[in-house]
Amino acid sequence: PARWRTVHLQRAKDEGRRFAMLTAYDAMTAALFDEAGVEVLLVGDSVGNTVLGHPSTLPVTLDEMVLFSTAVVRGATRALVVADLPFGSYEASPQQAVAAGVRLMKEAGVAAVKMEGDERFAEHVAALTAAGVPVMAHIGFTPQSEHVLGGYRVQGRGEGAVERMTASARALEEAGAFAVLMEMVPSDVAAAVDASVRVPTVGIGAGPGTTGQVLVWQDMLGLREGRMPRFVKQYAQLHAVMGDAVRAFRADVLEGSFPAPEHGFEG
């Protein structure tokens, strides 16, 4: 399609095809990922970590999500742009969720939102969808709830886990969610959930059995060094590439070899 919509993600699942999703927080990377064919761009509240330098996603505000989403929408021509509802912008009521979702669509121009929460948030999903805001539900490990969940840990383990995760996904689908994202869920559980809902699923740390896969771009491209979550595959080492380039620039400046004559103007 010339422009990916939620119906195209549904068609992909119906026809047994997968799709890729990547975070983006600015117009240049959005354009780059869009040109590379990535079907869905997520303006994740991970912007709190990756761009703003916070230790978690919790401090991210709706105003900040609107700003970063605006940039991503400007850079994307083909991908479906989805924005996260940040912590504190939607939980209190379905009405609060609608107000937040409408702002992201109206002011930033995103085509859908993602919202963390299980079946306890089904009414929020229904209200958003009724208002014209498509919702990607996010279950399993939900980072905004890290202090309730006891830290970063795999969800959906143990007895009855498949039944519980499936019931959550089904309730959210029933409420109108166009997709269900699962984070840090055992691969067999995620695959069972994908098989038991009609809508497409997206996984991060959820194995190969979901319809789509998402990663945070700075993790995937190796922009940062240090310990990566188990579910990250690094497709490049941008930290080394950029670090080497910056060191070369600085060395040239200090020894006087940059700028060369061709970088200057004649009078």
Q: Which residues are catalytically annotated?
A: 183
Amino acid at site 241:
V
Q: Provide the minimum distance between the beta carbon of 183 and ligand KIV in the complex, in angstroms, as a whole number.
A: 6
Residue with Cβ nearer Na ion (44 or 94): 44
Give the number of other Cβ atoms within 10 Å of residue 31's Cβ.
Answer: 18
Residue with Cβ nearer ligand KIV (44 or 176): 44
Q: Provide the minimum distance between the beta carbon of 84 and ligand KIV in the complex, in angstroms, as a whole number.
A: 5
Per CB under 5 A, 118 contacts Na ion: no
Residues that bind ligand KIV (CB under 6 A): 23, 42, 44-46, 84, 181, 183, 204, 214, 216
Select the span of 43-51, 129-137, 189-197, 215-223 touching Na ion (CB under 5 A). 43-51
- Whose structure tokens read 């840990």? 153
Q: Provide the minimum distance between the beta carbon of 26 and ligand KIV in the complex, in angstroms, as a whole number.
A: 14
Give the number of other Cβ atoms within 10 Å of residue 77's Cβ.
Answer: 12
Question: Can you state the percent helix, strand and coil of the chain, rounding each to 5?
Answer: 45, 15, 40
For residues 99 and 47, what is the distance between their CA atoms, to the nearest angstrom? 21
Whether cis (ω within 30° of 0) applies to the bond prior to 259 is yes
Per CB under 5 A, 44 contacts Na ion: yes
The one among 39, 45, 119, 183 contacting Na ion by CB under 5 A: 45
Residue closest to 21 by CA, chosen among 3, 43, 2: 43
Per CB under 5 A, 183 contacts Na ion: no
Positions touching Na ion (CB under 5 A) are: 44-45, 84
